[in-house]
């Protein structure tokens, strides 16, 4: 028996070793960008073989590696953090050398001593922070002199890495990678290909963002994405890769870089939406860029069922609604590009950037599409794998049978206890079977899908009694889970208020976790108020909420928060109040939803803290980001941001004012302080016939977003200030996360904190540090 067991494991080890040798060489890499506000701890590193931590910079005087002090902790913990989920993942320190830093890089490579300083510092930094390799990003093809110097740098760098390995016993040689852009035949520029082939482990080819309109310049018509329609040589993914192959680079040392972003433009003519059609400007960001998760949300909110079209020539999806034109990489595009990389015999793929994925949807598809090439498998390997599979199946069947028999009673007891616990706590809480929910949603048909958040997709359904409901189903890729599921049920079943969305029931069956809500037919508040998008999709929707209706919604939200903080049995801190979490019923009455992140206090508690930072960037107060402290004033801050959005129709993700230099809070404060508050309001609003005045709402909102929680009013004070026009109102201080400070305040705060928390949607897309 022992001999047979030994033979089996030898066979198993041999077959798995063969399998690994065939598949482990396939690169599945991804970039984490420190300025994107996406936490390292949230990276699903199990989906990747390599992860790049971006970006370190180059000191302009010493040419040593420079890491922004704001992100130094993330860089130092990066390798340990991502290896907790995937111990085999390989990490690389990504060094930026392009755009505004290109002059520093050029100066460095032109001098032997400077090159040596850079090389020694890069290796020392990588070893210090536990990285497995180095990645050079941003270097464009150039003239012969600069490229000769680049070749010298790469060869010296490789030699230093080899020497470093011999001097660091027990440590393997660091990988050496470089990001390359597309060549341009018209410029006759090139990279030092021979030096790169000899020195680099691979090159990441950025095969996207071709011929974009000039950034920061939208005074006249520009072509959408790919330049004017008269262009005779449009670039695409195939051309970019082929150019590298034509210059003698090996396919097995090329990695295809794919974007998790797209671009949104305003068409000059809504009827001319072909590739290269004239565009007059951007929709959201200053360069027109939008992250994949934001694009997906945009299409769901404003698409009215229209579908995106995949263009195989350019390898992207196109979507047009009204005068809005969007291109992006969808699941279909990612799948096609990974297949293309395999067909070309490339080493693998890399994605930019991880924070723009939506519940790891794109990364999961990419991983599933990649892997070993079946055509190259040996017949012997196939036979061995079949034998191993049969043996594993037999053993697994026996083990599973015994384990199921042993644990069945315990599992059923736990499940029954959980269901009974929910049933007992809620007087009217329904416990529905999976079959009932599946039938109610027509087997979770895509046509019944009405939204998706961090928890998972939401479906419209109809119960057997005819009641319309919304079903929130936990996604297997969700960062949330059982604790959030239980938290929402246990909190909301106790809360009864007209301005809160009640949980009607639950389903906790067959590994499924679902929450059943009262259906809100008029969607969420953000569907109506953000005019910058609606203007080019449905110009009439922004007028559906006049000031009278918006004042009614503001009052309802205020009443809902008052109940949570003052009048319920517990003090409830929502921690995720935002426009998309305010739902509207058939009469446009607001109801606060999504209590998965909420916390309950007893009435004598005032604040608490946590190490787990949750919430939506742009609505999160500074004391929570810095120290994890949350109290009633957390929701007051979020309420202030939301109130500014309601009266202006503006998003937190955009920048405003001269040269787009102010975030939403700063812009509102500056206009109010300069006596120009009327310029901030949505132009469609008129408060002349209402007791609720726009200017007073603006001042109250600015009081709510002050940096010191003690300076912010309570929700009871907010309600009094809004309802009573003669109530004394104080002068607000400058809001949190501002670039500037009042001259009489000597407060030295880090400017980068604004970047971390003021962006509602991650849409940083260009491969440049910001």
Q: Where are the domains of the chain?
A: 21-260+326-379, 426-519, 539-757
Look-up: residue for tokens 């009013």?
713
**pLDDT at 342 (0 to 100):** 93
Mean pLDDT in consecutive groups of 10 residues from the start of the chain, 770 residues: 42 42 73 88 94 95 92 92 94 93 92 94 94 94 84 94 73 90 64 92 87 41 44 65 88 94 82 76 70 81 67 75 80 91 94 92 86 46 76 80 56 39 52 92 90 80 92 71 74 84 85 88 88 52 83 96 89 90 94 87 64 69 79 93 94 81 91 93 90 94 94 94 88 71 32 31 36
Cβ proximity of 489 and 515 under 8 Å: yes
Distance (Å) of CA 674 to CA 36, 656, 667, 695: 32, 15, 11, 13
- Which one of the listed residues 135, 201, 358, 576 is annotated catalytic? 576
Cβ proximity of 487 and 494 under 8 Å: no
What would the pLDDT profile of 134-156 be if each residue is shown by its tens digit?
999 999 887 778 889 999 999 99
**pLDDT at 428 (0 to 100):** 64
> Which residues are paired to 471 by β-bridges?
459, 516
Active site residue 660: no
**394/387 Cα distance (integer angstroms):** 11
Distance (Å) of CA 507 to CA 171, 351, 418, 438: 51, 36, 11, 11
**pLDDT at 766 (0 to 100):** 40
**pLDDT at 765 (0 to 100):** 35
**318/330 Cα distance (integer angstroms):** 9
**pLDDT at 265 (0 to 100):** 81
Query: Which among 192, 85, 94, 86 is positioned nearest to 143, based on CA atoms?
Result: 192
CB atoms within 10 A of CB 353: 24
The 3-state DSSP class for residue 78 equals helix
**pLDDT at 96 (0 to 100):** 95
CATH of 21-260+326-379, one of 3.40.50.150, 3.20.20.140, 1.10.580.10, 3.20.20.80: 3.20.20.80
Look-up: residue for tokens 């892997």?
371
Distance (Å) of CA 365 to CA 235, 256, 333: 25, 15, 10
**pLDDT at 10 (0 to 100):** 40
Look-up: residue for tokens 């005045």?
693
The CATH class given to the 539-757 domain equals mainly alpha
**pLDDT at 606 (0 to 100):** 59
Pairing of strands 348-352, 254-259: parallel
Cα torsion angle, 213, 215, 221, 225, sign = positive
Kindly give, in sequence order, each residue whose CB lies less than 8 Å from that of residue 653, ignoring residues fewer than 6 positions away.
Answer: 284, 285, 294, 618, 759, 760, 761, 763
CATH of 426-519, one of 3.30.70.20, 2.40.50.140, 3.40.50.720, 3.30.200.20: 3.30.200.20
**pLDDT at 284 (0 to 100):** 64
Kindly give, in sequence order, each residue whose CB lies less than 8 Å from that of residue 180, ignoring residues fewer than 6 positions away.
Answer: 139, 141, 191, 196, 203, 204, 205, 206, 244
**717/38 Cα distance (integer angstroms):** 35
End-to-end CA distance of the chain: 63
**pLDDT at 116 (0 to 100):** 95
Kind plus residue range of the DSSP H or E element containing 483: helix 482-492
**pLDDT at 35 (0 to 100):** 83
- φ/ψ of 126, rounded to 5, equals -60, -45
**331/425 Cα distance (integer angstroms):** 42
């Amino acid at each position: 028996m022992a001999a047979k067991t030994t033979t089996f494991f030898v066979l198993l080890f041999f077959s798995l070793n063969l399998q690994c040798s065939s598949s482990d060489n396939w690169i599945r890499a991804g970039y984490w960008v420190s300025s994107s506000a996406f936490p390292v701890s949230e990276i699903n590193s199990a989906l990747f073989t390599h992860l790049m931590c971006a970006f370190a910079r180059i000191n302009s005087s010493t040419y040593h590696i420079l890491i922004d002090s704001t992100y130094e902790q993330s860089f130092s913990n990066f390798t340990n953090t991502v290896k907790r989920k995937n111990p085999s993942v390989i990490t690389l320190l990504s060094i930026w050398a392009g755009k505004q830093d290109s002059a520093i890089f050029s100066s460095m490579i032109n001098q032997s001593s400077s090159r040596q300083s850079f090389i020694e510092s890069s290796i020392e930094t990588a070893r210090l922070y536990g990285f497995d390799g180095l990645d050079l990003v941003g270097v464009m093809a150039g003239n012969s002199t600069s490229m000769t110097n680049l070749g010298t740098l790469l060869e010296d760098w490789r030699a230093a890495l080899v020497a470093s390995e011999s001097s660091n016993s027990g440590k393997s040689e660091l990988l050496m990678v470089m990001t390359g852009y597309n060549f341009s035949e018209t410029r006759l520029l090139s990279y030092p290909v021979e030096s790169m082939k000899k020195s680099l482990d691979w090159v990441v080819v950025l095969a996207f963002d071709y011929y974009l309109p000039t950034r920061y310049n939208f005074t006249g018509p520009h072509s959408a994405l790919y330049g004017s329609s008269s262009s005779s040589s449009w670039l695409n993914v195939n051309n970019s890769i082929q150019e590298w192959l034509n210059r003698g680079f090996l396919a097995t040392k090329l990695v295809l870089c794919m974007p998790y972003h797209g671009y949104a433009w305003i068409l000059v003519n809504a009827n001319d939406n072909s590739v290269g059609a004239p565009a007059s400007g951007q929709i959201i960001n200053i360069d027109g860029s939008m992250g994949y998760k934001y694009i997906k949300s945009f299409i769901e909110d404003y698409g009215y069922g229209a579908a995106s079209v995949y263009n195989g020539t350019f390898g992207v999806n196109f979507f047009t609604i009204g005068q809005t034109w969007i291109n992006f990489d969808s699941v279909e595009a990612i799948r096609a590009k990974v297949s293309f990389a395999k067909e070309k015999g490339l080493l693998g793929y890399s994605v930019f950037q991880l924070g723009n994925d939506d519940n790891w949807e794109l990364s999961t598809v990419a991983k599933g599409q990649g892997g070993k090439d079946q055509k190259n498998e040996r017949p012997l390997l196939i036979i061995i794998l079949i034998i191993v599979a049969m043996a594993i199946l037999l053993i697994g069947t026996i083990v599973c049978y015994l384990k199921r028999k042993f644990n069945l009673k315990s599992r059923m007891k736990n499940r029954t206890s959980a269901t009974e616990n929910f049933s007992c706590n809620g007087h009217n809480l329904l416990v529905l079977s999976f079959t009932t929910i599946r039938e109610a949603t027509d087997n979770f048909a895509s046509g019944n899908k009405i939204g998706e958040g961090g928890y998972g997709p939401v479906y419209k359904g109809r119960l057997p009694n005819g009641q319309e409901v919304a079903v929130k189903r936990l996604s297997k890729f969700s960062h949330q889970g059982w604790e959030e599921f239980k938290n929402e049920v246990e909190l909301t079943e106790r809360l009864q208020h007209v301005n809160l969305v009640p949980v009607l029931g639950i389903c906790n069956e067959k590994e499924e976790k679902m929450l059943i809500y009262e259906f809100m037919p008029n969607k969420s508040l953000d569907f109506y108020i953000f005019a910058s998008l609606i203007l080019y999709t449905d110009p009439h929707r922004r007028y559906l909420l006049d000031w009278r209706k918006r004042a009614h919604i503001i009052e309802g939200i205020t009443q809902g928060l008052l109940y949570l903080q003052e009048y319920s049995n517990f003090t409830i801190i929502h921690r995720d109040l935002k426009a998309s979490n305010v739902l509207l019923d058939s009469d446009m009455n607001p109801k606060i939803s999504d209590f998965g992140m909420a916390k309950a206090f007893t009435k004598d508690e005032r604040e608490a803290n946590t190490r787990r930072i949750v919430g939506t960037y742009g609505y999160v107060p500074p004391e929570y980001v810095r120290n994890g402290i949350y109290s009633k004033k957390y929701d007051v801050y979020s309420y202030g941001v939301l109130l500014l959005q309601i009266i202006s129709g503006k998003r937190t993700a955009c920048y405003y004012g001269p040269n787009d230099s102010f975030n939403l809070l700063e812009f509102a404060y500056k206009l109010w302080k300069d006596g120009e508050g009327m310029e901030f309001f949505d132009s469609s609003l008129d408060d002349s016939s209402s007791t609720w005045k726009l200017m007073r709402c603006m001042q109250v909102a600015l009081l709510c977003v002050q940096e010191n929680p003690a300076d912010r009013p309570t929700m009871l004070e907010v309600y009094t200030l809004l309802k009573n026009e003669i109530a004394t109102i104080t002068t607000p201080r400058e809001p949190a996360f501002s670039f500037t400070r009042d001259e009489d305040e000597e407060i030295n705060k880090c400017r980068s904190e604004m970047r971390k928390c003021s962006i509602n949607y991650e849409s940083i897309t260009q491969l440049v540090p910001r």
